[in-house]
Homo-oligomer: A and B are copies of this chain.
Amino acid sequence: MYDKGISTAVIKRLPRYYRYLGELLEKDVVRISSKELSEKMNVTASQIRQDLNHFGGFGQQGYGYNVEYLYTEIGKILGLDQKNRVIIIGAGNLGQALANYADFERRGFLICGIFDVDPGKLGQRIRGLEIRPMEELADFIRKNDVKIAALTIPRQNAAQVAAELVSYGIRAFWNFAPTDLHLPPEVVLENVHLAESLMRLSYKLKSAEEPEEDDRAE
């Protein structure tokens, strides 16, 4: 098995390795050196060797990495070798976009239920999935052994809904609500704060433009 004391920085890079290796596989590339991988990914070759060494090091001197093997092993580390059932809470535009995103299925994530409070939406179908009322959540989660929930609901309701979901057995939140959830220690969380991401972009744009403005002012 691999070292569990892996830094979050390494973990952050693993999905990116996985994505690149997937692209190489599609192009029937059989093996790749850390140097080539490093040029593609804009990470130093030594960084790549170091990162992959955490997982027992799949490379061989003079041969490089076997793409398929590395892809499969990183997939296992990421938990993608199991089917991960996911429910979506909130059938608004974003919830629907996630439900319709076929890329997730290719990674082993199966969106199996979508829920909303709005009675007007109930019974509508998104990619074959019926939108269900929140009252069915407890049963549905238990029957289908769902561990992962995507939250695409307003921030005002997020904390309360998350607490309910934990009590029904949810152990992982993919949180799109623009708020920080406070969860029990056994529950894991990944935030996608879109407005914050857009603000970072705005900051970068402003910083990139500033020297010009200074020039003009002189």
Chain A contact residues, CB within 8 Å of chain B? 4, 11-12, 14-16, 18-19, 41-42, 77-80, 84, 92-94, 96-98, 100-101, 103-104, 107-109, 147-148, 171-174, 178, 180, 186-190, 192-210
Partner of A172, one of B18, B19, B108, B201: B201
Contact of B79 with A172 in the complex, beta carbons under 8 Å: no
Q: How far is the CB of A102 from the nearest CB of chain B, in Å?
A: 11
B148 contacts A201, C-beta separation under 8 Å: yes
Which listed residue, B98, B171, B209, touches A171 by the CB 8 Å rule? Answer: B209
State how many angstroms separate the Cβ of A18 from the closest Cβ of chain B: 7
Given contacts A108-B202, A188-B201, 9 further A-B contacts (CB under 8 A): A15-B195, A15-B196, A18-B199, A80-B202, A94-B101, A109-B202, A171-B209, A190-B197, A192-B192
Per the bound structure, the CA–CA distance linking A14 and B42 in Å amounts to 26
Instruction: Report which of B14, B93, B189 forms a contact with A93, defined as CB distance below 8 A.
Output: B93
Residues of B within 8 Å of A196, CB to CB, are: 15-16, 19
Q: Are A79 and B203 in contact (CB under 8 A)?
A: yes
Residues of B within 8 A of A100 (CB): 92-93
**A186-B208 in contact (CB<8A):** yes
| Bound complex: CA A100 to CA B92 (Å) | 10
Give every chain B residue within 8 A of A188 (Cβ-Cβ): 201, 204-205, 207-208
Q: Are A178 and B14 in contact (CB under 8 A)?
A: no
**A–B pairs, 14, beta carbons within 8 Å:** A4-B207, A12-B200, A19-B195, A41-B180, A77-B203, A79-B203, A80-B202, A103-B194, A104-B195, A109-B198, A148-B202, A186-B208, A189-B204, A190-B204
In the complex, residue of chain B having the shortest beta-carbon distance to the beta carbon of A99: B93
A103 to B186, CA, bound (A): 31
B178 and A19 contact, CB distance less than 8 A: yes
Q: Determine whether the beta carbon of B201 is less than 8 Å from that of A190.
A: yes
Please determine whether A103 and B178 come into contact, CB atoms closer than 8 angstroms.
Answer: yes
The 7 closest A-B pairs by CB, nearest first: A79-B206, A93-B97, A15-B196, A188-B204, A190-B201, A15-B199, A172-B205
